[in-house]
Amino acid sequence: MKIELSVNGERKEADVWPGESLLFTLREKLGLPGSKNACEQGECGSCSVLLDEKLVCSCLVLTAQAQGHEIVTVEGIAEDDRLHRVQEAFVQTGAVQCGFCTPGLIVATVDLLAHRPEPSDDEIREALSGNLCRCTGYQKIFDAVRLAARA
Amino acid sequence: MSTPATRRKLELGRVGESVKRVDAVPKVTGEFAYSSDLFAAGMLWGHTLRSPHAHARILSIDISEAVGLAGVHAVLTHDDVPGDKRYGLEFPDQPVLAFDRVRYFGEPVALVAAEHPEQARRAAAAIKVEYEPLELVVDPELAADQPAIHPQHWTQGHGYRDDPRPNVVRDMRIERGDPDARADVSVEGYYELGIQDQAFLGPESGLAVPDGEGGVDIYVATQWLHVDRDQVAPCLNLSREQVRIHLAGVGGAFGGREDLSMQLHAAMLALHTNRPVKMVYNREESFFGHVHRHPGRIWAEHRANRDGKLVCVRMRILLDGGAYASSSTAVTSNAASFAVGPYAIENALIESTCVYTNNPPCGAMRGFGAVQTCFAAEAQMDKLAAELGMDPVELRLRNALASGDELPTGQKITGSMPVEEVIRRAAAIPVPDPEELPRDPIRLPGGAGNTTRGDGVQRGVGFAVGFKNIGYSEGFDDYTAARVRLFADTDGDLVAEIYCAAAEVGQGVTNVILQTARTELELENVMLAPGTTGEVGSAGSASASRMTWMATGAVQAACRAVRDELDRRGGGLASGDEIDLERIYRHPRTGPLEPETGQITTERAHVSFAAAAMRVVVEVDVDLGLTRVVWIGTAQDVGTAVNPQAVYGQIEGGTAQGLGLALMEEIQTRDGLITNASFTDYLIPTALDMPPVVAELVEHPEPEAPFGVKGVGEPPTVVSTAAVMSAMRAATGRELNRVPVKPDDIVFSGS
Amino acid sequence: MEVFTPRSLAEALRLKAEQPSAVPIEGGTDVMVELNFDRARPEALLNLNEVAELRGWSRDNGLLRLGASLTYTEAMAAPLSEQLPALAEASRTVGSPQIRNRGTLGGNLGTASPAGDALPPLLVEAAEVELSSVRGVRTLALEDFLVGPKRNALEADELITAVLVQPSGARQTFMKVGPRNAMVIAVCSLAVSVDQERCELRAAYGSAGPVTGLVTAPLDEVDSFPERVAEAASPIDDVRGSARYRRHALRVLAERGLQRCLT
Ligand SMILES: Cc1cc2nc3c(=O)[nH]c(=O)nc-3n(C[C@H](O)[C@H](O)[C@H](O)COP(=O)(O)OP(=O)(O)OC[C@H]3O[C@@H](n4cnc5c(N)ncnc54)[C@H](O)[C@@H]3O)c2cc1C
Ligand code: FES
Ligand code: FES
């Protein structure tokens, strides 16, 4: 079936299998593999995107449900050629190792700071509890969020 | 003619500086290409049909319906394997596709390639396989003598202790001094560990592209490109040159990518269809797609004198290797070698056995045998301290291993071994005061579950020390190749391009290589070419905490050769000229252990050792058996920190994995079938489960290593399970001899 | 497979009547996992995201009407959270922010899992479920709606349109046991309320029987209540926990819940 949606401010069209997830469509049909496919069951947050400005797991959105809606993926976070301050903070603090969790965490952190510009440590932990990272033990990710909040 | 390019003074990025990862920017923007992100024109999707049985005879496989389905281009079985029917990391005991029988739940049986993954799934579902269930071998204590799972005793005749029992993978003994030596006090214990999964976030995936001339290029997330190639080529009946393996972006590894997963399968489909084939496992399949950490049962007795001096340690270790050998023989040996912990001891008897079963196959995972025994040994040390009425830190200090001491294998430690300093530094980190109540529930055991406002909560502080080897052991001819191409760019500046097949799995070896090259060449313009088997010799595996040491050694050697050549040419290169040299680095040689006594047969069986000590504070809701880890303080022996920021990252991440094993991570099985193959039921620590970690680096350069480096990846994982459990026991007063500890164990088990 | 996306409730009900096998999908946090892991291949999906009538909540004469599309994030926000505090607490325990932004009450009822975290607080508050079809509208007590493990009283042509609650105003709380401090399916859970006005103790447990179960007692039976809750449950052993532990934990949760609601 044909689906039309807005991704990172651009109108996109895709021909999808009706049971297809938004994650699959973004990655395999729209050339946006930045959102990651670590579990496809909502448990890891690596596929996090903004759907009409809400943080969601794109693996749990049926592509057909995104018809006519606005999606922002990790590819749409940087401003022109400049890294977003959240991205810059992840680079600076060493919050990236294998990086598979990173795109989801970038989107989740951007969402957190949009609602809570100065989150407490507890708020950071709770807000990011849906984004699993297997490499870093989260310490440097928390550092990155704190740094981005200050920036 | 332009003036010859010369070296420019370098500003940033030498060995010892915290340097930002070169791949961090593409990773934060989403541009970094992981193995699951690859795409090729005309690409098909591969899918694997897996065994629903843990042990069964295959009576027939009927693919006729599947072949005819829409979009399907190939359906392959063991009959279609062009070359060797079996492969294996160390022993070729594992079928490329099952024939005659399946030996574990999830074993690959057939392959499909189709236009859309959904078509591939439908076709796989249409393959009819007739099975006849066979007697299950699932209890490791009975397994050794049950009917043989394999037609041939693959691991026999390789210099290990002779054990003819059909399902023994390896049986070893380390006997030192007088194993019956008596002492003032003795403590005994029995310990158990469940199966841990690496749970790297990027599931197995890759792309195989036929080259049109009978060969194939495989782009894959792996830990060791060349050993993949050496296993793949004979099964495809191709020469090594016809199989080129290229490193695609790796979403974590932790040992789980040492063995093959989809490499051979995608290559078979690609060669058969003459189209590129992509395979991506989903999370459920990933639990079948790689080996896990060996579950273990350990019986231990520690004897010591009143003054706290350890006199004799006796330990029996039983590891369940699952259906195939993978690296089980080395894990068995490691478990034994490091069983005592970083303590000097004169008398010991360590028996370590690994068996084949129809449980999930086990192999390499961060810590590699040392995790299992550290958990048992450190619990024993706490017991001993209690028995002696001695401070647990003091007891450990009294027995701390040091350079010059001998290990139970008889190996004398010649390099750096600052165990005492590691213990003192970790113990000196100030422990935070207990927090006041009331608090938000997420700061209490049970977290977001809102189960307590402070009721039932008890605090406990624990301590543990652990160590393990750095690098491959027991005579393995371990080496790393690196190649440096130095040339002048169009501006007349010198540029070095480094070729090294070291797998960047997230640990940061790319930076290590670049920092080494910058330091050696005094040059800022240094880049690393993509990892491939085509351009450079083997780097060995990104495992055993060896890659930093080995890559540093190889890159250093190649850089020095290039530098010498440059000097010979007068210190500059004309535009168009280049120097291109490859060098191989070997660490000091090791030798095998004597099979009956486990004693060294040459100067050493292991290259080097690294230790870590850790203090953990937990709060446990003892009425519900729920835990919050409050704080962790640790000191680690790291040799020289090449990139301190990355070293701290390894310590923090490695600690989280050990915490996971202590508190929540276990692959559960029933009759060999995995019952929790999902991230819904295989739980790994979230942001609310990891406490702040205060880490200190103990830097004593390793004399025989380039720049004095040691490996840093594994020690935090080795020690953290033990340290968390020490704190758990302190909080609950319970014995808690099994990990992961379940709420049940806390609530119901005896003290 | 086909996807229908109705733009109004009337259209949704008509489609459901024409295609009773169509599986409704709201937040997709249950349905998509089934699809992604090849456990379900329905003939058709009925996407309810564009049906405005199902969204949000309203109050009429004290009666709260929670639309089937109400998300956990919305249930956590004031002023609704002040009306139904245990539901708000339960919502905070659900999954992660991502799941709470998408997952809905309608979906939790549709799945009717004994582990559904919205169910115990709604049971304690004596909620009713509003079911609609082209044939009309009916309401069922939540207890009657939950007929078995992952089974509910929906007819093939019906949709869940709302949950109706008359907030009791009683002190109430929700607790959920899991072996990790976030993102867990309940090993067991308990909602408790102490209704001083009606002189009643109410508790509803999750993940401790085939369906979420309600236990009530007169106010003066506080001391024996935790034991009654534990005995009312019929837990089993599974990958998440043992029956023995679940029963024990319910007793502890009931004690703690009563304490919270009485002080
Ligand atoms: C990572 C993760 C964590 C989770 N954690 C929790 C948790 O902690 N606690 C918990 O309770 N649940 C949890 N869930 C399960 C799920 O999020 C909830 O059950 C949620 O409420 C489902 O809502 P939904 O809108 O996403 O449902 P959907 O997936 O859209 O639908 C669920 C079911 O309800 C049916 N349905 C939906 N709407 C209607 C309607 N209006 N009429 C009739 N039938 C309907 C669907 O056909 C389907 O059968 C979790 C899920 C995931 C993926
Ligand atoms: S891939 Fe979507 S949450 Fe894991
Ligand atoms: S950096 Fe590897 S999972 Fe987070």
Distance from C-alpha of C246 to C-alpha of C225, rounded to nearest angstrom: 16
Residues in chain B within 8 Å Cβ distance of C248: 747-748
Do B478 and B747 contact (CB within 8 A), yes or no? no
Q: Within 10 A of B364 (CB to CB), how many other CB atoms are there?
A: 30
Cβ of A35 closer than 6 Å to ligand 2, yes or no, is: no
Q: What is the mean pLDDT of residues B291-306?
A: 98
Pick B450's closest partner by Cβ from C93, C183, C239. C93
Distance from C-alpha of B132 to C-alpha of B59, rounded to nearest angstrom: 7
| Per-position b or e across A107-135, b if 16+ CB within 10 A of its CB | bbbbbbbeeeeebeeebbbbbbbbbbbbb
What's the pLDDT score for residue B698? Answer: 98
Pairing of strands B205-210, C2-4: unpaired
Q: What would the pLDDT profile of B254-281 be if each residue is shown by its tens digit?
A: 999 999 999 999 999 999 999 999 999 9
Which of 3.30.365.10, 1.10.10.10, 1.20.120.1200, 3.40.50.620 would CATH assign to domain B24-30+479-586?
3.30.365.10
Cα angle C182-C188-C192, degrees, rounded to a multiple of 5: 100
Q: Which two tokens stand for residue B79?
A: 């009959």
What's the pLDDT score for residue B110? Answer: 98
Q: What is the mean pLDDT of residues B223-243?
A: 98
Distance from C-alpha of B32 to C-alpha of B23, rounded to nearest angstrom: 8
Do B539 and B228 contact (CB within 8 A), yes or no? no
Confidence of residue B1 (pLDDT cuts 50, 70, 90): very low
Q: What would the pLDDT profile of B141-188 be if each residue is shown by its tens digit?
A: 999 999 999 999 999 999 999 999 999 999 999 999 999 999 999 999
Is 70 exceeded by the pLDDT of residue B6?
A: no
Distance from C-alpha of A129 to C-alpha of B719, rounded to nearest angstrom: 25
Task: Give the E-state strand segments of B115-250 in sequence order.
Answer: 128-133, 168-176, 185-193, 205-210, 216-220, 243-247
Is 50 exceeded by the pLDDT of residue B381?
A: yes
Do B657 and B366 contact (CB within 8 A), yes or no? yes
Do A5 and A17 contact (CB within 8 A), yes or no? no
What is the model's pTM?
Answer: 0.97
- CA B380 centroid distance within chain: 25
% of chain C beyond a pLDDT of 90: 100
Cα angle B336-B340-B345, degrees, rounded to a multiple of 5: 120
> Looking at the 3D structure of chain C, how many domains does it have?
1
Asked if A57 and C99 come within 8 Å (Cβ–Cβ), the reply is: yes
Cα angle B87-B90-B96, degrees, rounded to a multiple of 5: 15
Touching C: B residues 660-679, CB under 8 Å: 663-664, 668, 675-676
% of chain B beyond a pLDDT of 70: 98
Do A101 and A133 contact (CB within 8 A), yes or no? yes
Is 90 exceeded by the pLDDT of residue B746?
A: yes
Cα angle A38-A41-A42, degrees, rounded to a multiple of 5: 85
% of chain A beyond a pLDDT of 90: 97
Residue of C nearest to B447 (CA): C181
- Ligand 1 centroid–CA B221 distance in Å is 34
Output the domain CATH number for residue C233. 3.30.390.50
The C-alpha of A4 sits at a distance from chain C's nearest C-alpha, in angstroms, of 14
Confidence of residue B664 (pLDDT cuts 50, 70, 90): very high
Q: What is the mean pLDDT of residues B524-553?
A: 95
Establish how many alpha carbons lie within 13 A of residue C36's alpha carbon, considering only the half-sphere containing its beta carbon: 30
CATH number for the segment(s) B42-134+204-280: 3.90.1170.50
Confidence of residue B492 (pLDDT cuts 50, 70, 90): confident
Cβ of A83 closer than 6 Å to ligand 2, yes or no, is: no
Q: Which ligand is nearest to the CA of A56?
A: 2
Q: What would the pLDDT profile of A89-148 be if each residue is shown by its tens digit?
A: 999 999 999 999 999 999 999 999 999 999 999 999 999 999 999 999 999 999 999 999
**Residue ranges of the domains in chain B?**
24-30+479-586, 42-134+204-280, 411-469+607-748
Confidence of residue B575 (pLDDT cuts 50, 70, 90): confident
Q: What is the mean pLDDT of residues C107-125?
A: 98
Asked if C179 and B447 come within 8 Å (Cβ–Cβ), the reply is: no
**What rounded mean pLDDT belongs to chain A?**
97
In the sheet with C136-141, reading across from the earlier edge strand, the strands are C57-60, C63-67, C159-165, C128-133, C136-141
Confidence of residue B76 (pLDDT cuts 50, 70, 90): very high
The answer as to whether C183 is a domain residue is: yes
Does the domain formed by A2-75 have CATH 3.10.20.30?
yes
Task: Give the E-state strand segments of chain C in sequence order.
Answer: 2-4, 23-25, 44-47, 57-60, 63-67, 128-133, 136-141, 146-148, 151-152, 159-165, 171-177, 188-195, 200-206, 213-218
- Ligand 1 centroid–CA C106 distance in Å is 7
CATH number for the segment(s) A85-150: 1.10.150.120
For chain B, report the end-to-end CA distance as a whole number of angstroms: 84
B666: three-class secondary structure by DSSP:
coil
The C-alpha of C38 sits at a distance from chain A's nearest C-alpha, in angstroms, of 10
CATH topology of domain B411-469+607-748: Aldehyde Oxidoreductase; domain 4 (3.30.365)
Q: Which residue has the tokens 């740094």?
A: A147
Asked if C177 and B626 come within 8 Å (Cβ–Cβ), the reply is: yes
Distance from C-alpha of B197 to C-alpha of B182, rounded to nearest angstrom: 39
| Beta carbons within 8 Å of B322's beta carbon, 6+ residues apart | B104, B291, B292, B356, B357, B358, B359, B360, B361, B362
% of chain B beyond a pLDDT of 90: 97
The answer as to whether C228 is a domain residue is: yes
Of the candidates A41, A44, A114, A49, which has an alpha carbon nearest to the alpha carbon of residue A75? Answer: A49
Is 70 exceeded by the pLDDT of residue B9?
A: no
Q: Is B181 exposed, middle or buried (0-12, 13-18, 19+ CB in 10 A)?
A: middle
What's the pLDDT score for residue B7? Answer: 56
Residues in chain A within 8 Å Cβ distance of C93: none
Q: Which domain holds residue C253?
A: 171-262
What's the pLDDT score for residue A151? Answer: 86
Do C134 and C13 contact (CB within 8 A), yes or no? yes
What's the pLDDT score for residue B2? Answer: 46
Residues in chain C within 8 Å Cβ distance of B442: 181-182
Report DSSP state, residue B706. Answer: G
The residues with which B333 forms a beta bridge, in sequence order, are: none
- CA A77 centroid distance within chain: 9
Please tell me whether the interface predicted TM-score (ipTM) of this complex is above 0.85.
Answer: yes
Distance from C-alpha of C106 to C-alpha of B235, rounded to nearest angstrom: 53
The answer as to whether C250 is a domain residue is: yes
Distance from C-alpha of B230 to C-alpha of B315, rounded to nearest angstrom: 37
Pick C97's closest partner by Cβ from A41, A55, A60. A55
Distance from C-alpha of C142 to C-alpha of C119, rounded to nearest angstrom: 8
| Per-position b or e across C93-114, b if 16+ CB within 10 A of its CB | bbbbbbbbbbbbbbbbbbbbbb
Distance from C-alpha of B519 to C-alpha of C176, rounded to nearest angstrom: 55
- Ligand 3 centroid–CA A28 distance in Å is 22
Q: What would the pLDDT profile of B624-655 be if each residue is shown by its tens digit?
A: 999 999 999 999 999 999 999 999 999 999 99
Is 60 exceeded by the pLDDT of residue B665?
A: yes
Q: Within 10 A of B667 (CB to CB), how many other CB atoms are there?
A: 22
Cβ of A48 closer than 6 Å to ligand 2, yes or no, is: no
The C-alpha of B456 sits at a distance from chain C's nearest C-alpha, in angstroms, of 10
| Beta carbons within 8 Å of A33's beta carbon, 6+ residues apart | A26, A27, B30, B33, B34, B36, B37, B39
- Ligand 3 centroid–CA B155 distance in Å is 36
**Residue ranges of the domains in chain A?**
2-75, 85-150
Q: Which two tokens stand for residue C199?
A: 């002189």
